[in-house]
Amino acid sequence: AQSRSQEAFLAVVLLTVLAMSATTEAVGLSATLGAFLAGVSLSETRYRYQVEADVAPFRGMLLGLFFVTVGFSIDPRLIVEKPLAVAAATGGLVATKAVVLASLGLAFRVPASAALRAGLLLGPGGEFGFVAFGLATKFLVLDAATAEFLRTTTALSMALTPVLASAGERLQEPVNNWAAKLARRTRRERDDEAAVLASKQGDDLVVVCGYGRVGRVVCELLDAKLQRYVVFDLDPQKATDARARGLPVFFGDLGRQEVLEYFKVGAAKIVVVATQDRRATNRVVVALRRLYPDLEIIARAENRDHQRRLSKMLGVVAMVPALPEDSRFLTLPFGGAVLRALNYDQSDVDMLIEESR
C-alpha cells in the first residue's frame, strides 16, 4: 500500500490467498477453506475497501468459474438412475433449511414475509458442502458413491436458487396480508380478554385454576349463585372453545409468578385449584403461597396423603373429590366446599347441590 502501486497491492492480496490455500492443503484440509480464511482475514484489515475495489473486476469471472465447477459436480447418470431419490433429497434439503431459517427469523421477530424469503433464498446447499464432502471422503467418513450423491443434490439445490428467489417475491404480498390479518385478530382477542378480565375485577372475584370436570362443576355452581369468577387452563383450545360460549376461561399458567402478577390473582377472594395432575397442583399452590401468604386457597388433592401435605405444609383447604371424576354426582361436594368457603349459607349450598343432582 505504501508503494502506491495497484499491481503490487493486488499481487500481495493474491499471494495471501494462495499462501493460505497452500497451507491448509498441506495440513490435509481444503484449499477452498484456506481461501475463505484468507478472505476473512483481509476483510478485518483497514485495507478491506481497497481489496474489494481491486477484486471487483474479477468477481464476475470468478463467480462464473465457480458455478461452472458446480455444474461439473452434477452427475447426469445418477439423476437418470435414481430420479426419485435425487428429487427427494434435493427437496428435503431445501425444505428443511428453509423451515429452520424461517422459524429462526420469526423467533427473532423478523417480519413473516422477510423470514420466508430469507428461508427460501438460503434454503439451497452452500459451496462449503462440497468442501465437507471432499474431506469426508478423504478421511473415509463417506464412501465415494454417497459423496457423489450428496454433491449432485447440493448442486441441484443451488440451481433452484433463482426459482426460490422468484417464489419468495411472489409470496411476499400474500404473506404480509396474512400476517396483518393474524395481528388484527390477535389484538381483537386480547382486547376482548382485557374487557372480560376488567369486568371480573373486584375483591369478590373467584379464580379457578383448571377447567376439567371438577373445574366445570365448580363454575356451574358459581354461576348458579351469580358469583363472579375467572378460569385459567393450560389447554389453549379448551379456553378458546369456552370463550366462544361466553365463558370467562383463559389460557394461562398460574404456576408462574409473572402470570399471577399480571392478572392480579392476589386480589381474588379465593383461588380454587382444580387441576387433576398432582405435580401441577403442587406447583400452582406453591407459587400462590409464595407470592400471597394470606390468600385463601382451596385445592383438589389426589389422595388422603396429598391432602394432609397440602393442609399442613402449605396451609390450604384440600379436598379429595370422590371417584370416578367423570361423574357429576360425585364431584358436586368439592363445588359445595367452595361455596361454603365463600360464606354461603349451608342450607342454601345443600339445596343447590341437591338441585344440581
Question: What does the pLDDT look like over 88-135, one tens digit per residue?
Answer: 999 999 999 999 999 998 888 888 888 888 999 888 987 778 778 877
303 shares its domain with 344: yes
242 shares its domain with 278: yes
19 shares its domain with 85: yes
CA end-to-end span of the chain: 94
Give 87's pLDDT tier (boundaries 50, 70, 90): very high
Does 307 score more than 60 pLDDT? yes
213 shares its domain with 124: no
The strand pair at 297-300 and 229-233 is best described as unpaired
Residue count of the chain: 357
- The alpha carbon torsion through 343, 346, 349, 355 (nearest 10 deg) reads -170
Q: Mention every residue, 6+ apart, whose C-beta is less than 8 A from residue 159.
A: none
Tell me, yes or no, whether 1 lies in a domain. Answer: no
Give 85's pLDDT tier (boundaries 50, 70, 90): very high
Least trusted range by pLDDT, from 69-83, 205-219, 224-238, 272-286: 69-83
Q: Mention every residue, 6+ apart, whose C-beta is less than 8 A from residue 173.
A: 113
253 shares its domain with 330: yes
| pLDDT score, position 325 | 47
40 shares its domain with 137: yes
Mean pLDDT of 188-212: 67
Q: Mention every residue, 6+ apart, whose C-beta is less than 8 A from residue 235.
A: 211, 251
143 shares its domain with 212: no
Q: Which domain holds residue 302?
A: 201-356
Mean pLDDT of 167-192: 76
154 shares its domain with 262: no
Tell me, yes or no, whether 184 lies in a domain. Answer: no
CB atoms within 10 A of CB 90: 22
Tell me, yes or no, whether 190 lies in a domain. Answer: no
Does 323 score more than 70 pLDDT? no
Q: Is the dihedral of CA 125, 130, 136, 140 positive or negative?
A: positive
34 shares its domain with 146: yes
Residue 339 cell numbers, joined: 361455596
Mean pLDDT of 178-200: 64
Tell me, yes or no, whether 321 lies in a domain. Answer: yes
| pLDDT score, position 269 | 87
274 shares its domain with 326: yes
Which range is most confident: 33-47, 68-82, 290-304, 336-350? 290-304
213 shares its domain with 66: no
Which range is most confident: 297-306, 323-332, 342-351? 297-306
Give 195's pLDDT tier (boundaries 50, 70, 90): low
Does 279 score more than 70 pLDDT? yes
Least trusted range by pLDDT, from 27-31, 149-153, 327-331: 327-331
Does 171 score more than 70 pLDDT? yes
Tell me, yes or no, whether 281 lies in a domain. Answer: yes
168 shares its domain with 208: no
Does 333 score more than 50 pLDDT? yes
Domain CATH number, residue 262: 3.40.50.720
| pLDDT score, position 353 | 66
Tell me, yes or no, whether 42 lies in a domain. Answer: yes
Percent pLDDT > 70 in the chain is 86
